[in-house]
Amino acid sequence: MGKALPIVLIVLAAVLVAAATMHSPTLTPATTPEGAVQALLNHIKTRDAAGAFRYVAKASNTDEQDFARDVFGQDGNLRTYSALQVFDTKVLHESDQEASVRASLQWASAVGAVYDSRDLKVVREDNSWKVLWPVQARAKVPPQVIPVNYLRWDIVSRGPDDDWGAQNVDAPHVRIISMNPVEKDGNFTLLGEIENEDTVPGFVSVSATLIGKDGKTIGQEESFDKISHVLLPKEISPFRIDFPNVSRERIESVHLQPNAMLVPASADPVMGVMHQVLQKDARGHSVLTGEVVNQSGQTVNIPHVLATFYDNSGKVIWVSDGYVDQSLAPQTPVPFSIALRDDLAPQVHTYRVTVNQYSRDRVQ
């Protein structure tokens, strides 16, 4: 037994060294530009920042920490609550020393699926292909004093000592001011606008019920996030309600129900929208691009952009929305892009953009 113990220890040490060697991070050189992009994205998919960074070219001029913040989020932004689920790659151009690869990404997030497309440059480096990853620069906000003079509404509810049957403040009065039913590729959609006609803020939503020609209910849906839920007095929000796989010819009538609940709210932060342009993206699809600016002095974690598109008669012909995966630092513009149906782009006469905001440290 005395002689066996040292042998056992030597064998165990050898096994541990071999195991450590097998699990130590090693780079499998990418032999093709598309392979480099796929390797990087596979590591991102498993949330392996160190593994992904090994496929980032030195010419990217970024370090691993900034890369990890860019890919996995920072400041409580939407990317913080997202995970890469599916990706697809396509080589756009390739030569001996460089290439361009389009990566179409689908992220699972706290607000549903988020789609992104990036045209990545790939270069030869150290006998391998590496990806030039464009890290978005972090905003550096200078010290400053921003005056706060916004309106605010608080709610004082009845207490336990009030008379039995005493009522709280009534819910705000809201009204649907326009509605347009449309059908595309066998899918039925209700578009419109809702207004808070009251003098107090409200949390609003719109629900719809479709009744078939036989008198039976075909389906019930709500506006979900295709609406600005918190409306201040006299504010107007677009709404969109989708009914997948429902053709218009099956529908006899539509019942719309606006819902409102009194909530505390404030007019801060003020969100500005600048440089709005309706154009084509790199794939030839219609998009509305621009910049959103947080004009308050506090960080907005998750911005949500809503766009209402009108024809030349002022009718709502489409409502689109999109989440910006960057947080908004005070006074710092951040770009946004919202998709528009290509067939509707020629009909757009004007549009209106509004911004919802979600801030984890802000209590309204």
Residue at 261 is within a domain: yes
**How far from each other are the two terminal CA atoms of the chain, in whole angstroms?**
73
Check whether the bond before 269 is cis (ω within 30° of 0).
Answer: yes
Cβ neighbors of 94 (< 8 A, separation 6 or more) are 33, 100
Could you read off the pLDDT of 199-216 as tens digits, one per residue? Answer: 999 999 999 999 999 999
Which residues partner with 176 through β-bridges? 194
In the chain, the percentage of residues whose pLDDT exceeds 90 is 59
For residue 294, give the H/E element and its range: strand 286-294
Q: Are 255 and 279 contained in the same domain?
A: no
User: Quick one: pLDDT band at residue 83, thresholds 50, 70, 90?
Assistant: very high
Q: Are 47 and 34 contained in the same domain?
A: yes
Window from 67-71, 152-156, 171-175, 191-195 with minimum mean pLDDT? 152-156
Between 33 and 1, the more confident residue is: 33
Over residues 181-191, mean pLDDT: 94
Gap between the Cα atoms of 246 and 191, Å rounded = 15
Last residue of a domain, one of 216, 240, 265: 265
Q: Residue 191 above 70 pLDDT? A: yes
Q: Are 123 and 177 contained in the same domain?
A: no
User: Quick one: pLDDT band at residue 48, thresholds 50, 70, 90?
Assistant: very high
Q: Are 184 and 253 contained in the same domain?
A: yes
Q: Are 224 and 287 contained in the same domain?
A: no
Q: Are 244 and 336 contained in the same domain?
A: no
Q: With contact defined as beta carbons under 8 Å apart, do 198 and 207 qualify?
A: no
Could you read off the pLDDT of 18-39 as tens digits, one per residue? Answer: 443 444 355 688 899 999 999 9
Residue at 1 is within a domain: no
Task: Identify the domain containing residue 80 by its residue range.
Answer: 23-132
Token pair, residue 60, equals 């990217």
Helices assigned H by DSSP within 46-145: 49-53, 64-72
Residue 195 confidence (pLDDT): 97
Distance between alpha carbon 28 and the CA centroid of its chain, in Å?
33
Residue 27 confidence (pLDDT): 66
Could you read off the pLDDT of 134-178 as tens digits, one per residue? Answer: 877 666 777 777 777 788 888 877 666 555 544 567 889 999 999
Q: Can you give the CATH number for the domain in which 340 is found?
A: 2.60.40.10
Token pair, residue 10, equals 């030597």
Distance between alpha carbon 87 and the CA centroid of its chain, in Å?
17
Gap between the Cα atoms of 63 and 67, Å rounded = 6
pTM above 0.85, yes or no: no
Last residue of a domain, one of 211, 237, 265: 265
Token pair, residue 333, equals 């513009």
